[in-house]
């Protein structure tokens, strides 16, 4: 192995290129519906900004148009755009993100974002007020930890108590990889230094293989 | 009467299991053929008795026998018949009976399909499975009897939890338990081989198809659970790193490592110690999962109602079974001859790397799941470990796994050359890079996370395609196992693409809608046409009629509901989903809002790529199925080696 | 060889932790407010004539703060114990009526703040006259905000607060005779002595 063989290499290249083309074509087919749909707004779970429903219709006629009809042509025939549940979408988005990291204290392992328990409603209200006051995410978390302890955080804070938790898997991986390397090397050494079979032993091996 | 019959059948099953667990093993040790031969009939008898018991309990449910305490707790006269049957496994006692039924089924299957195995081996395997049966039957009869009477009988039952009144309950637990319990067969094979002192390629060859079938059921069960949570809970999440979910993921991870390691042990006689350890671990994790879910040590939405005595019993059972196995392992393994040496770049090494990554991932999940318990037990406080931890730790471990999947199928056994590998794979790499860079731009906004995810998925898919094309051109027959492997690998890649896509591009709109209002998520629009009240067999619901349009043209009608079951005060959301090849449109109805005009809170989701997650899981299951039916597994057993001098070979044939 | 024993050793370590875990309650949250000053507040009491109450008024005395509500079943079960305690000992108990008005109280939903307060007062007073009143006074926390300041996550909960206004102990759930005897009373004696 290792000798440079142009024709063999070329043959392989040809196969590879055909496969490359086939692969791209497959991917193109798979994604074509996505292309047809056009660009989507990015970001998980972000409520889109309020539409024309909450904005004045401006210079259009004084006759009361259903809000939203100032938007592009197709929606005129469909109906008024529904208003978002919240008046403060940016704040609510922040609340959602933050409350996904907080635990509902009275539920069976649910986040504050998804729980419908009464205490969860109260805590979300509290967090909302704190966010309105301009507190940072960390300040909100500190507020809750002061009153309820570390239990309320789903992402454990990095401190000596949680070093094992956060670094453990990584350390284990390094150890396992090192162990693997050591094991492989040990095997090779063992194989290299194994004594050659004597003739008598060779005869016995042949006998065993025949059985 | 039926309940007593079922109870009696269980007691008989326990007695049979005791016989099954002792005489064949003794017979194998002392070479008494007649006692070895007891294994098969015992297995069949036990299956018959447990099935009878299960049938009796099912009949109690179907007949609305509320004098049986378990039926009164989990059923109701208004419950539709199909859910009355599913309710059998809706609670702790019944689900344990289902577990035991699965175990009896697997044992009987091993007894039935093992005629090419030496009798002593069958005796040992069935005997070990008998020990597990004894443990569980004892547990049921002593601490979790589903046939206990409630006297005086209840007038009507408390009803099945509305969240469980769903087709998901009909199929998810049975499939999942088939997987959990199926790993006991690989376990039994490993223990039997350790007992016999014979750890050769034959053991691995025999063990493989059983392990692959268990794995595919486990995959299916986990996928079903995830899908069920997705459509049932109302906000489209599908994995929460909940302790019970982790309890099923851990055996799956080790099971995946096991099927790959068995391959090396089967084909090359390598890694015996490691494969045996993985076989023991997979089932041990199943048992650990049982403990975590039913003992009350961890809080979870899925956890069954608990009782400290039950926790103690399961822990003791776990300690005995696993402790014994690992002791046997430590005692026997030093005497087994090790395999050959291999070079640093070889299929063996990559398979070992696969094992390492999966086992470390499993260890990470275990660490995160029990860390709160450990900290609490040490009186160091109370903390929570949630999805943020698991995602941060698990995802980076999966990346190298996906990367080595492709070279893993390309490199040769024993020794391979870097130059050859790079030469073969560089176009795949470049093409995958191209897809990774291009796909996010086509699907929406470009992000490095999405690019990386799509790159990894494309890498595996294109690598598999290349491999299949090249293999097709070569002479020689291609077994089903080969197609199974490629199918499963591609399935995993599709799941990865699905997860990447939905996490990067999903859109949620939380709105208030009156009749006629529209929610727009380009190019789709959702218009509320009207609201109505509907009555179900055991609930009353408010139903929304939502028209879905694409580019102004109607494409579907969705009917999300908010149900109130008569039995509980709990309102329940039934989301409505329009599924397409590339995306799901998900609508969830909330509460009515006070105001001048009637309005309801609604959540509308656009979830691209989500169907790929379920499709990928199905591909993995299909792959497992193909691998399991390969003709090689139905051939006669290969020549076996015996132990080196110092340990007398045991057992017949 | 020794290395084959490693899995067994690790496993037994795991079993020990699981056994220890069986004796713990995974849902019980210890309070981080122990040995910290009791958060200040100013809340109306059950008596419409009296002004607002604030914990500073209890400075110099050891006292108990008991979080309760009329809709709470466990509160009714612990109530005789509290009544008995109040009669027997010189330790004042301040009640905190927590979220007395619940979502299912439909008649209260349309009311304004004063009307809601009055509704809560009346219902609480009826309940106390029926089951006994161990409280020197009872404040009303209708929206639960003060409860959050105190780390309340359920009812009933009881705090032991010392002469300097520092929380020294929190009992979550019903106060039982065992808890009273083993934890609360010895602590109160110790705090009174200092």
What is the residue-wise DSSP string for B240-305?
---HHHHHHHHHHHHHHHHHHHHHHHHHH---HHHHHHHHHHHHHHHHHHHHHHHHSSS--TTPPP
Indicate whether A165 belongs to any domain: yes
CB atoms closer than 10 angstroms to residue B8? 15
Picking from A41-50, A179-188, C37-46, which range would have the lowest pLDDT averaged per residue?
A41-50
Q: Using the 3D structure, point to which of A75, A98, A128 is the last residue of a domain.
A: A75
Question: Do A57 and A116 share a domain, yes or no?
Answer: no
Given the DSSP bridges, would you call strands C93-98 and C63-68 parallel, antiparallel or unpaired? parallel
How far lies C183's CA from each of C36, C147, C160, in Å?
A: 18, 23, 10
Residue of C148, C149, C150, C170 best to disrupt the A interface, most CBs of A under 10 A = C148
Kind and range of the H or E element at B587?
strand B583-593
Rg (CA), chain A: 33
Q: Where are the alpha helices (DSSP H) in B506-589?
A: none
CA–CA separation, C144 and C53 (whole Å): 16
Q: Taking the domains of chain B in order of start, what are their residue ranges?
A: 1-165, 189-414, 477-634
Q: Which of B201, B414, B338 is nearest to A194 (CA)?
A: B338
Q: How far apart are the first and last CA of chain C?
A: 62
Q: Tell me which H or E stretch contains B608.
A: strand B599-608
Q: What's the pTM value of the predicted model, to 2 decimals? A: 0.88
Peptide bond into B131 cis (omega under 30): no
Per the CB < 8 Å rule, is B327 touching C19?
no
Q: Is the peptide bond before B523 cis (omega within 30 degrees of 0)?
A: yes
**Same topology between domain B1-165 and domain B477-634:** no
Q: Which of C4, C17, C29 sits opposite B330 (nearest CB)?
A: C4
pLDDT-wise least confident of A164-168, B367-371, C86-90: C86-90
The answer for A 79-108 residues in CB contact with C (under 8 A) is 105-106
Which CATH code for domain B1-165? 1.20.120
Classified as helix, coil or strand, C37 is strand
Residue B625 CA to residue B470 CA, distance in Å, equals 23
| Residues B83/B169/B158/B140 CA torsion (nearest 10 deg) | 110
pLDDT-derived band at A6 (thresholds 50, 70, 90) equals: low
Q: Answer yes or no: do A165 and A148 share one domain.
A: no
Nearest to A131 by CA among A102, A96, A94, A101: A94
Residues C80-108 have a mean pLDDT of 90
Query: Does B283 contact chain C (CB < 8 Å)?
Result: no
Q: In this complex, do C148 and A126 lie within 8 Å of one another by their Cβ atoms?
A: yes
Distance between CA atoms of residues A115 and A140, nearest Å: 18
Query: Whole-angstrom Cα distance, residue C183 to residue C189?
Result: 10
Helix ranges, chain C (H): 6-22, 73-88, 106-109, 113-131, 145-149, 177-179, 185-193
Same domain, A26 and A70: yes
Band of the pLDDT at A19, cuts 50, 70, 90?
Answer: low
d(CA B414, CA A184): 11
Residue in B301, B352, B520 closest to A75 by CB: B520
Asked whether residue A83 is assigned to any structural domain, the reply reads no
User: Distance (Å, rounded) from C-alpha B308 to C-alpha B326?
Assistant: 26
A20 lies in some domain = yes
How far apart CA A164 and CA A152 sit, in angstroms, is 20
Q: C160 falls in which pLDDT band (50, 70, 90)?
A: very high
The verdict on domain C34-193 having CATH code 3.40.30.10 is yes
Note whether C106 contacts B: Cβ–Cβ < 8 A: no
pLDDT at A3 over 60: no
H-helix or E-strand containing C171?
strand C167-172
Domain range for A62 is 6-75
CA B89 to chain centroid? 17
Pair B502, B610: CB distance under 8 Å: yes
- Where would I find the H helices in B378-479? 387-410, 418-443, 448-473
How far lies B348's CA from each of A13, B355, B404, B486, C48, in Å? 28, 11, 12, 18, 82
**Residue A81 located in a structural domain:** no
Low-confidence ranges of chain B (pLDDT < 50): 636-653
Q: Which H helix or E strand runs over B615?
A: helix B610-628
Final residue in a domain of this structure, among A152, A170, A192: A152
Q: Which sign does the torsion angle of CA A144, A146, A148, A150 carry?
A: positive
Fold entry, domain B477-634:
Tick-borne Encephalitis virus Glycoprotein; domain 1 (2.60.98)
Flag the least confident range among A160-164, B159-163, C40-44.
B159-163
More confident residue, B598 or A34: B598
Q: Are A155 and A103 in contact (CB under 8 A)?
A: no
- Torsion angle in degrees (nearest 10) through CA of B16, B17, B20, B26: -110
pLDDT value at residue B61: 94
Helix or strand (DSSP H, E) at A186:
helix A163-193
Top residue of A104, A122, A144 to mutate, by most chain C CBs within 10 Å, is: A122
Q: Do C148 and A123 touch (CB under 8 A)?
A: yes
Q: Give B144 to chain A, closest Cα distance, Å.
A: 23
pLDDT confidence of residue A71: 39
Here the ipTM equals 0.90
Are both A141 and A99 inside the same structural domain? yes
pLDDT digits (tens, 9 = 90+) for A92-139: 889 999 999 999 999 888 999 888 888 999 999 999 999 999 999 999
DSSP character for B108?
H
Closest CA to C184 of C33, C96, C98, C81: C81
* Site from A3, A8, A17, A27 to mutate, B interface, most B CB atoms within 10 angstroms: A27
When pLDDT is averaged across residues C19-46 and rounded to a whole number, the result is: 91
Angstrom distance (rounded) from CA B460 to CA B486 = 10
Cα-atom radius of gyration of chain B, to the nearest Å? 27
Residue A84 lies in a domain: no
- Cis? peptide before B597, omega within 30° of 0: no
Question: Considering its fold, how many domains does chain A have in total?
Answer: 3
User: Is residue B254 within 8 Å of residue B248, measured between CB atoms?
Assistant: no
Quote the CA–CA distance of B543 and C78 in Å, as a whole number.
44
Q: How close is the nearest chain B Cα to the Cα of C48, in Å?
A: 32
Contact B314, B139 (CB under 8 A): yes
Interface residue A148 vs chain C (CB under 8 A) = yes
pLDDT at A4 over 60: no
Integer-rounded Cα Rg, in Å, for chain C is 21
- Rounded distance, CA A146 to CA A139, Å? 10
Which of C138, C14, C115, C7 is CA-nearest to residue C69?
C138
Compute φ and ψ for C137, nearest 5 degrees. Answer: -160, 165
B597: which chain A residues are within 8 Å (Cβ-Cβ)?
none
The predicted pLDDT at position B293 comes to 87
Q: What is the pLDDT of residues B154-180, one digit of tens each?
A: 888 888 888 888 898 899 999 999 999
Burial of A74 (0-12, 13-18, 19+ CB in 10 A): middle
Instruction: Please classify residue A45 by burial: count the beta carbons closer than 10 Å to its beta carbon, then call 0-12 exposed, 13-18 middle and 19+ buried.
Output: middle
Pairing of strands B583-593, B576-579: antiparallel
């Amino acid at each position: 192995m290792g000798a440079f063989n142009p024709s063999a290499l070329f043959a392989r290249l040809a196969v590879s290129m055909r496969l490359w083309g086939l692969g791209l074509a497959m991917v193109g087919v798979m994604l074509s519906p996505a292309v047809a749909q056009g660009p989507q707004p990015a970001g998980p779970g972000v409520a889109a900004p309020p539409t024309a429903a909450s904005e004045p219709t401006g210079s259009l006629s004084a006759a009361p148009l259903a809000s939203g009809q100032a938007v592009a042509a197709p929606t005129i025939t469909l109906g008024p755009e529904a208003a978002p549940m919240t008046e403060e979408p940016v704040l609510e988005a922040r609340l959602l993100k933050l409350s996904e990291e907080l635990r509902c204290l009275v539920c069976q392992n649910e986040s504050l974002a998804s729980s419908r328990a009464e205490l969860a409603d109260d805590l979300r209200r509290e967090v909302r007020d704190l966010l309105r006051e301009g507190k940072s995410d960390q300040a909100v978390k500190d507020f809750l930890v002061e009153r309820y302890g570390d239990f309320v955080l789903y992402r454990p804070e990095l401190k000596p108590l949680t070093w094992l938790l956060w670094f453990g898997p990584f350390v284990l991986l390094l150890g396992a990889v090192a162990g693997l390397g050591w094991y492989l090397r040990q095997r090779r050494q063992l194989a290299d230094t194994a004594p050659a079979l004597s003739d008598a032993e060779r005869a016995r091996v042949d006998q065993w293989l025949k059985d | 009467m039926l309940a007593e019959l079922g109870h009696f059948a269980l007691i008989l099953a326990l007695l049979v299991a005791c016989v099954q667990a002792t005489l064949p093993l003794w017979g194998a040790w002392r070479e008494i053929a007649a006692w070895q031969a007891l294994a098969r009939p015992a297995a069949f008898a036990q299956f018959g008795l447990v099935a009878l018991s299960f049938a009796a309990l099912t009949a109690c449910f179907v007949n609305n026998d509320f004098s049986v305490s378990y039926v009164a707790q989990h059923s109701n006269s208004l419950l539709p018949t199909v859910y009355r049957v599913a309710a059998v496994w809706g609670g702790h006692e019944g689900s344990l009976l289902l577990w035991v039924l699965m175990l009896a089924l697997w044992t009987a299957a091993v007894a039935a399909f093992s005629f090419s195995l030496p009798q002593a081996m069958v005796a040992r395997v069935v005997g070990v499975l008998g020990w597990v049966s004894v443990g569980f039957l004892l547990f049921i009869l002593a601490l979790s009897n589903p046939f206990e009477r409630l006297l005086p009988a209840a007038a009507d039952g408390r009803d099945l939890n509305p969240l469980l009144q769903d087709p998901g309950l009909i199929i998810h637990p049975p499939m999942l338990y088939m997987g959990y319990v199926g790993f006991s067969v690989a376990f039994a094979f490993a223990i039997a081989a350790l007992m016999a002192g014979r750890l050769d390629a034959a053991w691995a060859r025999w063990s493989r198809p059983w392990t692959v079938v268990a794995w595919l059921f486990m995959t299916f069960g986990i996928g079903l659970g995830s899908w069920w949570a997705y459509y049932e809970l109302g906000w489209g999440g599908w994995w929460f790193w909940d302790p019970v979910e982790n309890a099923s993921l851990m055996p799956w991870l080790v099971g995946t490592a096991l099927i790959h390691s068995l391959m090396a042990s089967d084909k090359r006689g390598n890694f015996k110690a490691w494969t045996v350890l993985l076989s023991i671990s997979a089932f041990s994790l199943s048992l650990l999962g049982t403990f975590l879910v039913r003992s009350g040590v961890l809080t979870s939405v899925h956890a069954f109602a608990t009782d400290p005595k039950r926790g103690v019993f399961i822990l003791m059972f776990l300690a005995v079974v696993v402790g014994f196995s690992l002791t046997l392992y430590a005692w026997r393994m030093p005497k087994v001859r090790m395999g050959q040496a291999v070079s640093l770049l070889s299929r063996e090494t990559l398979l070992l790397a696969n094992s390492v990554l999966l086992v470390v991932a499993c260890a990470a999940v275990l660490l995160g799941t029990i860390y709160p318990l450990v900290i609490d037990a040490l009186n160091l406080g109370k903390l929570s470990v949630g999805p943020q931890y698991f995602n941060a730790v698990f995802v980076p471990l999966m990346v190298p796994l996906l990367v080595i999947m492709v070279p893993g199928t390309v490199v040769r056994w024993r020794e391979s050359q870097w130059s050859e590998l790079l030469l073969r794979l560089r176009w795949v790499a470049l093409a995958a890079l191209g897809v990774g860079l291009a796909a996010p731009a086509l699907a929406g906004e470009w992000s490095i996370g999405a690019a990386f995810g799509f790159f990894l998925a494309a890498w595996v898919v294109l690598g598999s395609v290349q491999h299949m094309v090249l293999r097709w051109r070569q002479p020689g027959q291609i077994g089903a196992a080969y197609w199974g492997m490629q199918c499963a690998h591609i399935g995993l890649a599709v799941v990865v693409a699905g997860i990447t896509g939905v996490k990067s591009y999903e859109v949620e709109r939380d709105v208030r809608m009156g009749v006629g209002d529209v929610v727009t998520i380009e190019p789709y629009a959702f218009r509320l046409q009207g609201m109505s009240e509907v009555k179900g067999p055991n609930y009353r619901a408010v139903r929304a009629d939502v028209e879905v349009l694409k580019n102004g043209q109607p494409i579907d009608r969705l009917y999300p509901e908010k149900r109130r079951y008569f039995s509980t005060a709990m309102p329940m959301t039934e989301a409505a989903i329009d599924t397409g090849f590339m995306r799901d449109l998900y609508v969830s109805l909330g509460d009515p809002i006070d105001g001048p005009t009637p309005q309801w809170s609604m959540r509308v989701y656009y979830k691209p790529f989500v169907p790929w997650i379920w499709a990928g899981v199905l591909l993995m299951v299909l792959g497992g199925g193909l691998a399991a039916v390969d003709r090689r597994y139905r051939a006669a057993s290969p020549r076996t080696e015996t132990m080196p001098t110092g340990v007398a070979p045991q057992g017949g044939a | 060889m020794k290395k084959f024993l490693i899995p067994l050793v690790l496993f037994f370590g795991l079993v020990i932790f699981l056994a220890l875990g069986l004796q713990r309650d995974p849902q019980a949250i210890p309070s981080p407010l122990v040995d910290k000053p009791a958060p200040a507040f100013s809340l109306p009491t059950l008596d419409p004539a009296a002004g607002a109450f604030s914990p500073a008024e209890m400075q110099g005395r050891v006292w108990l703060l008991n979080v309760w509500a009329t809709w709470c079943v466990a509160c009714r079960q612990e109530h005789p114990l509290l009544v008995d305690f109040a009669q027997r000992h010189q330790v004042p108990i301040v009640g905190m009526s927590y979220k007395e008005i619940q979502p299912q109280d439909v008649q209260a939903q349309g009311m304004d703040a004063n009307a809601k307060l009055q509704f809560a007062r009346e219902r609480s007073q009826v309940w106390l006259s029926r089951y006994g009143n161990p409280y020197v006074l009872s404040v009303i926390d209708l929206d639960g905000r003060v409860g959050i300041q105190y780390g309340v996550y359920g009812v009933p909960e009881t705090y032991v607060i010392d002469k300097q206004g520092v929380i020294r102990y929190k009992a979550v759930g019903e106060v039982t005779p065992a808890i009273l005897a083993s934890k609360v009373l010895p602590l109160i004696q110790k705090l009174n002595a200092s």
